[in-house]
Amino acid sequence: EDLLRREPVKTDIEKVKELIQNKSILITGAGGSIGSELCRQLLKFNPSRLILLGHGENSIFEIEQELKIRKKEKIQSGSITTKITARIADLRFKDRLKDIFEEFNPEIVFHSAAHKHVPLMESNPQEAVTNNILGTKNLVDTSIEFNVSHFISISTDKAVNPTNIMGASKRVTEMILMDAAAKTGRIYSAVRFGNVLGSSGRVVRTFQKQLENGG
């Protein structure tokens, strides 16, 4: 935290509550480190439904069970009435996405699903292109078709003048979002995260391992 020299961003909780409360919300990559934390935070604002979407069944199962326990713990106070639903899907398959949107009609989408490991994407560029770019395009197109009002995509500071495949793929996803916002007039946006402490793929974890091993 000291080395990063960045203050954590402070959030206007009341404005978030106004946006989230009683809305149907879909989170992609819901089982990931960033997606699962989004789910935990969103549950506090009592959306009508949380749709947990992911490709990895174990991580989706785990966050679904965790959220149901959290809901049960808070339900005594009458504060949480959110319906929690889990769906396994690959964003590369647009028909599958359409089925999920037809079933739940989400009003807001948080898009955190992505391949994020820089070295792995250098050696697997096809995955970065099909998963990050094509998957996002499918999700955006489906969101437009089903009148999603707000779409928030989790991007990365590596999209700034990208020097690697992962960063370049995320920069293209930002451009897809900006194009959709311009064409529809809806709030379709991308937010760039820097080093998210505790997230998978973060460089800080690599540094910690090196230090533990005397590096």
**Rounded Cα gap, residues 145 and 113, in angstroms:** 20
**Rounded Cα gap, residues 187 and 15, in angstroms:** 15
Helix (H) or strand (E) holding 100: helix 94-104
Strand segments (E) across the chain: 24-28, 49-54, 83-88, 108-111, 150-156, 187-193
Report the length, in residues, of the chain.
215
Catalytic center residues = 158
Contact, 139 vs 175, CB < 8 A?
no
Question: What phi, psi does 47 have (nearest 5°)?
Answer: -65, 160
**Rounded Cα gap, residues 39 and 54, in angstroms:** 12
Q: How many Cβ atoms from other residues are within 10 Å of residue 66's Cβ?
A: 15
Amino acid, single-letter form, for residue 115: H
- List for the chain the helix, strand, coil content (%; round to 5): 50, 15, 35
